[in-house]
Amino acid sequence: PEFRKALAAILTPEQQAKVRERLQAGMNGADRPSQESPESREAVQTDTRGFTVAFQAGAYDAARNYLGGTEIRVSVTHGGKLYVGNNYWMDQPGKDPMPGPAIFALDSRIGKWRVEHEFAERLSDGTRRSMGISALESVTFCSDAAGKPLPRPVSMLLAGTWVSTGDAIAASRDESNGRWTEMALPAAEAANALEAQTRQQTGARGFAGMTFGSAETRCVLVHRDAVTGVDRIFAGVRPAGVYSGAYDASAPGRIRWEPRPELETPPGDFFRNTERIMGFTECNGQLHVVVGRSIYRRSDGPRPKWEKVYTNSDGRSVMTGLRGPTAVPHPSGKGQALLVALEGTACRMIRLDPQNHYSAVVELDVLSLLEKEWGIRPLYAEAGMNHCGGGMTRIKDSESGRDFWLIGIGSQLGPGRPQHGTAGGRKTFFGLERGAWYLVRNTSGEYALRHIVDASDPVLIAPRTFCLSPFPEDDGNAIYIGGYDCWGKPAHNTGWMYRGTLDGVLGRAVLPPKPEATPARTQTSPGPFHLFWGDLHAHTTYSLDARTSGCQSTPADALDYARKTARLDFCAITDHDYSMTREHWQTAQKQVNAADAPGKFVAFIGYEWTEARKYGHKQIIFRGTNVPEMVFGALNLPEGESVVRQIPQELWKSLAPYP
């Protein structure tokens, strides 16, 4: 009443009515983000980088079906059409329609979006049972459950959803009539157990718009069993595990699923995502899956087995797991390596070597790259958000013939309030970096940072999916990018999709197609001399001081980083003499020799002569493979030997046979 009196004293009746109307509209959509209308977004058609708005949630299709959604998480091409899946996580609809999550379809480049299928089931309180489309893949079966070849390959569109309660859902499309069949994957028992455990721990019923008893079909992939010849379909279901099935024309949805998971996930921790299944990929012909911080590998056969082959134990990264397992060419040129993203407070891109017990090499420190670009270090970041059918999105550049991988990024820069703020001079949205940033990786393991450019500066919050255009007129030179990530913040009609040219998306000016970097990037002056860049003092886990500081890198890891990430021309491994064992010395020599690439990269073997009293430390670097059987150390003296070894003249004598 006091507020109305104040309004009456200063406003006309017409002005008062407008204020009340706007206040009521704000209450109906309380605390939801102020996103532009679809009409205003469609007006921004293109820019100098070749990006065009392709979809903005909040419109209707020709049949008056609502095209809403807070996120566009998945997309895929199938039968010459483009399909995407939306989410309603954290939705604040106000007076807008509240349909269930849906799959949208675009039939041609100049066509209009339409609702292909809606997951419309409601709970007793009227809320949606499915909160979003979490998996969408085009799969093909060439053999049946007995391993016998089918008369002709069978392709189908397969989707998975995120449900608030009950069993998980997978759904398949019948190409003959366009109908969808929903199939239940048992997850209620595991979800209920996780819910009871988490409620007991927290006393709460849910977190950030999620119920503790939710289940999610996060990823699907068809893999041919190398022993049985069966084309098996795998579904990663949180929190139950990995389900397996095979093609059966008589089964509902034409897939016969096994009744129990082939791989059961370990006991869950809701807040650390230990049971979250984040993607499948085939690497060197074997199926791999990410579960929380670990990677499991399948041994094919009538009695398949899953083996844990890697666990990330980086204690600096909290509440996180691995994302986006992807097979990439092995640096040796033989076979494949496994690329994964670690999200969190130590976000990075990690390459695993299946040929060496899945040893890990950090290809990229994502947070440091973002800090260099933005001038502020994110508090938290996610990479590899766009995992799809077997890996992060691979694009073949038609101009150069080279492969590139597109890797979506989302990050938090500051506190979650206010809605529109700044951090380090950058605009934020609930503390999140508001743009759509992503990485472009080439086959050499080099990265470039890119982002969608839109002159209207909309709130985009992370690309979630990349998809090469299926339309003939694009001739493989256009990419659709969809996204938005709520990060547990209120949202409404924030899901989006852009269409970009291949030039614009890859950013040829930033990461042009080129052979592997050669030495002599800069010529100092006309003449025979050139400038080379390198590091003549590199420590690894073989040095005690580095090891006690948390370093786990071997000489091979350090040299790989120097060449692929730092892009140096040369590097010397010079670990301390006092912590060097004979085994370390021999192993270091082998790894240095293996890393040396004549004409491209020079790897030196050496050590650090460590005298702390008078003469100081000295880097001993050998020009070739002629090296002593053991380092001539200043401190690790054999029993009974005098301290004369700590005099440099004795060191020079020991090195005389190795010119």
Other beta carbons within 10 angstroms of residue 212's beta carbon come to: 22
d(CA 172, CA 186): 17
d(CA 108, CA 113): 9
- The answer to whether the CB of 159 falls within 8 A of the CB of 171 is yes
Considering the entire predicted model, what is its pTM? Answer: 0.71
The reported pLDDT for the residue numbered 180 is 97
Other beta carbons within 10 angstroms of residue 574's beta carbon come to: 25
- What residues of the chain score a pLDDT lower than 50? 25-48, 509-524, 637-642, 644
d(CA 99, CA 133): 13
- The answer to whether the CB of 131 falls within 8 A of the CB of 107 is no
The tens digit of pLDDT for each residue in 262-313 reads: 999 877 666 566 778 999 999 999 999 999 899 999 999 999 999 999 999 8
Q: Is the peptide bond before 101 cis (omega within 30 degrees of 0)?
A: no
**One-letter amino acid identity for 317?**
S
Cα separation values, 245 from 234, 302, 471, Å: 7, 13, 32
Angle in degrees, 0-180, between the axes of helices 13-28 and 2-10, rounded to the nearest 10: 140
- The answer to whether the CB of 615 falls within 8 A of the CB of 648 is yes
Q: Quick one: tokens of 274?
A: 């230990």
The secondary structure element, H or E, covering residue 556 is helix 555-560
Other beta carbons within 10 angstroms of residue 519's beta carbon come to: 16
The reported pLDDT for the residue numbered 295 is 96
The reported pLDDT for the residue numbered 206 is 64
Q: Collapse the DSSP code of 81 into the 3-class scheme (helix H, G, I; strand E, B; otherwise coil) and give the result.
A: strand
| Nearest alpha-carbon partner for 570 in 552, 539, 592 | 592
d(CA 100, CA 133): 10
The reported pLDDT for the residue numbered 541 is 86
Sort strands 130-143 and 180-185 into parallel, antiparallel or unpaired.
unpaired
Cα separation values, 165 from 130, 159, 238, Å: 9, 18, 12
d(CA 31, CA 490): 7
Q: Tell me, letter by letter, the H, E, C secondary structure of 598-628.
A: CCCEEEEEEEEEECCCCCCEEEEEECCCCCC
Q: Quick one: tokens of 363?
A: 């290809």
- Residue 4: DSSP 8-state: H
The CA dihedral of 395, 399, 400, 402, to the nearest 10 degrees, is 10
The reported pLDDT for the residue numbered 464 is 95
- The answer to whether the CB of 167 falls within 8 A of the CB of 161 is no
| Residue 645 phi, psi dihedral angles, 5° rounding | -65, -20
d(CA 135, CA 218): 5
The reported pLDDT for the residue numbered 510 is 40
